Amino acid sequence: MGTPVLGNSVRLSLLSAAIFVSPAVFIPFWPVFLDHRGFDATMIGGAFAIGNFVRALLMPAAGVLADRFGRLRLPLAVICASAILSLLGFGLVEGLLATLILIGIMNAMWGPIIPLSDVLTLRVAATDAMVDYGRVRLWGSIAFLATGPLAGWFLTRTAPDAIPVLCAAGIALVLPILLLVPDPPAPRRSGSLVAAAKAVFGHPPLAWMFLVAGLAQGSHMMLYGFGSLTWSQAGLSSVTIGALWAVGVAAEIVLFWVGRPILRRLGPVVLFQWAGLAALVRWSLFPLVTDPALLVVLQVLHAGTFGASHLAAIEVLRAASPPDRAASAATLYAAVPIAFGGGLLALGSGWLFEWAGPHAFWAMAVLGAVTVVSARYGLGSTQLTPPR
């Protein structure tokens, strides 16, 4: 047999790129869609919170089912198709209650896609030394960076009701690429969600990582909900705001490219501490800085606040997850600290921003400080190995 034209790294990179097309539309423009539907700032925060809570409840069930199946490609295809249908449903519903219900359904379908694709990449990387998680994942960031301006240009020429359709089209790109990627088998693990949760949360390095990563990642909720609004109120143009988002993603891409040697040298505990320090600096200065040149510097810190914390979390999942519960561990990570914790912070961010305006970002700086302490004295006290 001949050598495949596309190596596993290229195939997985294509998958990562396709998966992040929709988030590039959703993250900056979903508040615009909700505003078009009549949501105020508090309601937008509540809508993000509802989405996060639904993902927190249902994503682990998808992980348990994937562990029972032993493969990931078919579950991913079913989940993507369901997410597409739910997004297209926004064109059929009107009114606050109906929109909120559909937001919950859409998040339930969309939620497991990224964590299950991460597990798929780690499984392939375990047997293929050419596959580097960070260099696969960076193509998701590149797709995010490239898609955002294109979506923004398109949306200047159409109504905000097109936003869910664009998200659905992005997810549709994933389906044909799934046919190309390898799908290594894993040991099948039967059992309930409760049993999976006990196994994962009962393992100290995973439990501490969930807390530390939740703090670091959760500190971005204020940015996602109200960063663009803060810049707009400070007089920055839409072009400048788009460029600032791009700077943050570009910094993240650079870190993902060099992430493997950094992880080998420092380890995830130190990388989490870097993330916390970056968050402390970034969010402390965020309300005080309006000069675009200085904001570029703050956006470069996204490599620390997001990039470093994400790489550290994935490394702990790789090193400490039970092989037969890898999908459960990944979806529980995405569900509990990221979705549920992020949902609480998204809900709180709406209230805080209504009360304190841009100074609400100082609450996110506090999370950065707690990240440093929790990583050093909590996660740092554990052994990053699977349970025996």
Question: What is each CA distance from 286 to 41, 143, 208, 312, 362, in whole angstroms?
Answer: 19, 26, 28, 24, 8
Distance CA 294, CA 308 (A): 21
Q: Is the pTM of this model over 0.85?
A: no
Which CATH code for domain 8-381? 1.20.1250.20
Q: Is the dihedral of CA 116, 119, 121, 127 positive or negative?
A: negative
Residues 6+ apart with CB under 8 A from 366: none
In angstroms, the CA 269 to CA 52 distance is 26
Tell me the longest C-alpha to C-alpha distance in the chain. 66
Q: Which residues contact 65 (CB under 8 A, 6 or more apart)?
A: 75
Q: Do 37 and 99 meet the contact criterion of CB atoms below 8 Å apart? A: yes
Where residue 266 falls (left for φ over 0; alpha for ψ -120 to 50; beta otherwise) is alpha
- DSSP for residue 2: P
The candidate with the shortest Cα–Cα distance to 269, out of 367, 364, 384, 370, is 384
| Sheet strands (E) in the chain | none
Give dist(CA 143, CA 147) in Å, integer.
Answer: 6
Q: At 94, which amino acid appears?
A: E
HSE-up of residue 273 (Cα within 13 Å, Cβ side) = 12
Q: CB within 8 A of 180, min separation 6: which ones?
A: 6, 11, 14, 15
Q: Which residues of 92-128 are buried (b: 16+ CB within 10 A; e: fewer)?
A: eeeeeeebbebbbbbbbbbbbbbbbbbbbbbbbbeee
Alpha-carbon distance of 287 to 162, in angstroms, equals: 32
Compute the chain's Rg from CA coordinates.
20
pLDDT string in tens for the chain (388-residue length) = 444 567 899 999 999 999 999 998 888 788 888 888 888 877 887 787 788 778 888 888 888 888 888 788 998 999 999 999 999 999 898 888 888 889 888 988 888 899 999 989 988 988 888 899 999 999 999 998 888 878 888 887 888 889 999 999 999 999 999 999 998 887 777 667 788 888 888 999 999 999 999 999 989 988 987 888 888 888 888 778 878 988 998 999 999 999 989 999 999 999 999 999 999 999 999 999 989 999 999 999 999 999 999 999 999 999 998 877 888 888 888 888 887 787 778 778 888 888 888 899 999 999 999 999 999 999 999 999 888 7
